[in-house]
Chain A
């Protein structure tokens, strides 16, 4: 089942914060986040497995709620390099991945 991402698009100024959400109607085994720049391949950001888990590096972090039905990606003090399309992917314990439609983030100077 495809996860639902929101919002579809975000426009920010440098230094502003953004939150991207990914939700499912049923509990997920895992959720993973990728960023894809135009004309390039998706690049892995992080994966979350446990309900209530939070992870992050640099100024990008993510959380997985207790029921494992929603994950959020937090981008703090955004930089121009953060621009791109962010995908959440939900995984099963058999390795199958299903990706959301993506959220396009544009950071302007």
Chain B
């Protein structure tokens, strides 16, 4: 079975540009999580969804960040406009449900904003 799929795997963009990261969760999983990982801040939960509904977006750093889950098999994380401090690895993870289910992480998108 395919795991969590993320695209693109690498993204290099200039400051001010819009960036869209995509995630396809594992089929049958109804919870989806977006994380950001940096050396300075570690692994941070940005937002998570259950049954396509955002449950908690308190980790979203600024209004420049937005996330959607239009259906059970697709989610996007958008940054508009992007800034150099947004450079990080962004992971999407999915699980069978909210706690206490284990999360399966995608390979991540390495974002570099110059």
Q: Do A and B come from one complex?
A: yes
Q: What is the interface of chain A, defined by CB distance below 8 A to chain B?
A: 29-30, 32, 34, 40-44, 47, 49, 87, 91-102
Do the beta carbons of B48 and A96 come within 8 Å of each other?
yes
Do the beta carbons of B99 and A93 come within 8 Å of each other?
yes
Interface residues of B, count at CB 8 A: 23
Also in contact, A49 and B100, with CB within 8 A (given A87-B43, A96-B45, A99-B42): yes
- Tell me how many residue pairs across A and B have CB atoms closer than 8 Å: 61
Residue of B nearest to A33 (CB): B102
Residues of A contacting B108 in the complex (Cβ-Cβ under 8 angstroms):
41
B66 proximal to A (CB < 8 A): no
Residue of B nearest to A40 (CB): B107
Residues of A contacting B103 in the complex (Cβ-Cβ under 8 angstroms):
32, 44, 97
Distance in angstroms between the alpha carbons of A100 and B99 in the assembled complex: 17
Can you list 19 A-B contacts with CB-CB less than 8 angstroms, sorted by A residue number? A29-B99, A29-B100, A32-B100, A32-B103, A40-B107, A41-B107, A41-B108, A44-B103, A44-B104, A49-B100, A92-B99, A94-B98, A95-B31, A95-B55, A95-B99, A96-B45, A97-B103, A99-B45, A101-B42
Residue of B nearest to A93 (CB): B99
* Cβ-defined partner of B99 (8 Å) among A30, A40, A41, A99: A30
Interface set, chain B 50-105, CB cutoff 8 A to A: 50, 55-56, 91, 97-105
